[in-house]
Chains A and B, each alone.
Chain A
Amino acid sequence: MDFHKLSAKEIADGVISRKWSAAEVLTALLGRIKKYDGKIKAIVTLCEEKAYCDARKIDEMVSNGLDPGPLAGVPFLVKDNFCTDGIRTTCGSRMLYDWIPCYDATAVKNMKNAGAVLMGKTNMDEFAMGSTTESSVFGPTLNPRDITRVPGGSSGGSAAAVAAGYCPIALGSDTGGSVRQPSAFCGVQGMKPSYGQISRYGIVAYASSLDQVGAITRNIGDMALAMDVLAKPDENDTTCDAYERPSFSSASAAENLRGCRVGILSGFDKDSMDKPLIEAIDRAADFCRSAGAEVMEVELPVTMKYAVACYYMVALGDASSKLACYDGMRYGLHADGKNLAEMYKRSRNQGFGKEVRRRILVGTCVLTRGYYENYYVPATKVRQMIADEYAELFSRADALICPISPALPYKKGLVEEDPVRIYLGDAFSSTANLAGLPSISLNVGFTEEKLPTNVQLIGPRFGDHGLIALASVLEKYAGSPDIAELCCEGSC
């Protein structure tokens, strides 16, 4: 049985009906990781022993006639900034290289409570600051669709793992596109839910008012299943809303888009985009029409012009204060110094990589006198204008379709050549974080060179179920993406 080709639902159904065991599935997927990850490098830590222990518990429950949950025996991976009890959590940084948390993040706990089996942790840009998964202390992850290109980031390890068939569901965190852009680069489906939909407890923060947990899968049915498991109130996260969530799986059963109004973003510089990504938007619009939706062109002038600047001011200001806790004193890397200031400086210099230090500097700068009034405060106001612009749009439309990234997967090494160009790549994705909106990166095909072309779907706040319904219908037309053809075994 080719377990790596099965969806999460198919694996769970087979485990519950005793067609196969959770341990059998685990063995097959761990075998695939060992065979291929020497080259791809999506995984930074495997927890085989714990995983077998959990898988056997699931099999035992099934044998005893108990229900292990909707993800019974489904192996999953999580980005290395999710706290995992007894398993090191590094954030891709030398700073936390051997840090082992003593509790699970709520998202991880919810997955396990639903019967899923944690196999390990995935690579990421250091402290989630990046779009290429090249800045990790473990070295870069490669894109399984084309190993000369990056997998995107910062959740590049999770997206690469799902594309490579290591697991049907992986979790990531998304501050400005970090789940959706790597999903686009690796040709899989990725969702950033509304802010407040999933608990952030136990996720190492980058920017707390923007961060959100998201699932990466190969089909929208599995995405909906993951959302049913993950989206729950949590007394440990006061920003996690307590409203009663609808069934996301029911939403994914939508058949058509009759009565649905879909806006297609226009008024941005199409010439600076890779052409296949513009064609992907046109294709998605055609699918909408075929499914019975009313399609109209819409513009977001303030959002498109100012989102990246606003995003970087808010995110980096937040990050500089969040990362101040890494002082070499309480946890993380420690370096001696002849006085306190020198000890802080040495610990942070040795612990943080170049991009993280660069972002802390900018963040600290915008919180200092003069810059705070001229950059940070205006950014918090522009953020409100962006949220208002979206609110007005969603009074006329049920969803928006726009690009997720202006470019196809980058060739390796671009980030060091031109970091500002990489920052500008967040122009489309960061808008959903600023306004707290749900957003899905949906694959609608591949180029002749077999590079994925995804589009971004955005919906109103807490309209996550409607967005899943839209994505599910569009996926019926586009087809769900296949697993990447891996030709590189081991460390070849």
Chain B
Amino acid sequence: MVRKMVMDEERLREVLGLSSIGLPEEEFAEVLDRVNDVLRMCDDMQELGCSDVRPFEWDVRKAPDRRSDVPVRWGKRDIFLDQAPVREGDFFRVPRIIAREEDNSCSEER
């Protein structure tokens, strides 16, 4: 059965929350249009009767050998630490994660 779907404002706000992306209100209508343009482009695919078709999977000619299951010491501790967004001595500094989730709005706050 063909079920063409259109994204509405409420659903877009939900998706913005799920993808952890904010959007300024002035861009909201434009992005909604663009997302619906892409969904429209994909609607035709539903016309194909593919209920009996199996989902795609790769065939392998020869499976590669697995790595030995042993820990590898890279000896690059400082290099890893330097990649942290915020480093504090020998630690990654991470934000406090126990906080009240008061703001679930999708509006952009830079």
Chain A positions near chain B (C-beta within 8 angstroms): 99-100, 102, 195-196, 209, 233-243, 302, 305-306, 308-310, 312-313, 320, 324, 327-346, 348-350, 352, 357-358, 360-365, 368, 370-371, 374-375, 377-385, 387, 419-420, 423-424, 434, 436, 461-462
A-B contact count (CB 8 A): 195
CB contacts (< 8 Å) of A329 on chain B: these are 85, 94-95
CB contacts (< 8 Å) of A100 on chain B: these are 79, 82-83
A312-B41, A420-B41 as given contacts; A196 in contact with B58, CB under 8 Å: yes
Q: In the complex, what residue of chain A is closest to B64 when comparing beta carbons?
A: A242
Instruction: Give residues of chain B (37-95) contacting chain A, Cβ–Cβ below 8 Å.
Output: 37-39, 41-46, 48, 50, 53-67, 74, 76, 79-80, 82-86, 92, 94-95
Query: Contact at B48–A348, with CB atoms within 8 Å?
Result: no
17 sample A-B contacts, Cβ–Cβ < 8 Å, listed by A number: A233-B64, A235-B66, A241-B62, A242-B61, A242-B64, A313-B45, A331-B85, A334-B86, A341-B101, A342-B109, A349-B108, A361-B15, A363-B19, A365-B39, A375-B45, A419-B37, A424-B41
Q: Closest approach, in angstroms, between the C-beta of B103 and any C-beta of chain A?
A: 6
Query: Contact at B103–A383, with CB atoms within 8 Å?
Result: no
A329-B95, A361-B35 as given contacts; A241 in contact with B60, CB under 8 Å: yes
A310, B58: Cα distance in complex, Å: 16
A409, B45: Cα distance in complex, Å: 28
A240, B45: Cα distance in complex, Å: 30
Query: Contact at B58–A348, with CB atoms within 8 Å?
Result: no
Q: Closest approach, in angstroms, between the C-beta of A174 and any C-beta of chain B?
A: 16
Question: Pick the contact of A338 from B12, B82, B103 — CB < 8 Å?
Answer: B103
A343, B95: Cα distance in complex, Å: 8
Chain B positions near chain A (C-beta within 8 angstroms): 3, 5, 7, 11-12, 14-16, 18-23, 31, 34-35, 37-39, 41-46, 48, 50, 53-67, 74, 76, 79-80, 82-86, 92, 94-95, 97, 99-104, 108-110
CB contacts (< 8 Å) of B57 on chain A: these are 384
Q: Closest approach, in angstroms, between the C-beta of B76 and any C-beta of chain A?
A: 5
Query: Contact at A362–B38, with CB atoms within 8 Å?
Result: yes
A382, B11: Cα distance in complex, Å: 26
Question: Pick the contact of B45 from A310, A331, A368, A434 — CB < 8 Å?
Answer: A310
Query: Contact at A330–B41, with CB atoms within 8 Å?
Result: no
CB contacts (< 8 Å) of A341 on chain B: these are 20, 101, 103-104
- Which one of B16, B45, B104 has the highest number of Cβ atoms from chain A below 10 Å of its Cβ? B45
Query: Contact at A381–B54, with CB atoms within 8 Å?
Result: yes
A343, B108: Cα distance in complex, Å: 12
Question: Pick the contact of A332 from B55, B60, B85 — CB < 8 Å?
Answer: B85
Question: Pick the contact of B5 from A332, A361, A370 — CB < 8 Å?
Answer: A370
Query: Contact at A313–B42, with CB atoms within 8 Å?
Result: yes
Query: Contact at B101–A423, with CB atoms within 8 Å?
Result: no
CB contacts (< 8 Å) of B67 on chain A: these are 235-236
CB contacts (< 8 Å) of B61 on chain A: these are 196, 241-243, 462
CB contacts (< 8 Å) of B23 on chain A: these are 357
Top 3 nearest A-B pairs (CB, nearest first) are: A334-B85, A339-B99, A380-B55
Query: Contact at A381–B56, with CB atoms within 8 Å?
Result: yes
A234, B66: Cα distance in complex, Å: 9
- Which one of A240, A327, A345, A381 has the highest number of Cβ atoms from chain B below 10 Å of its Cβ? A345
CB contacts (< 8 Å) of B104 on chain A: these are 341
Question: Pick the contact of B38 from A236, A312, A330, A360 — CB < 8 Å?
Answer: A312
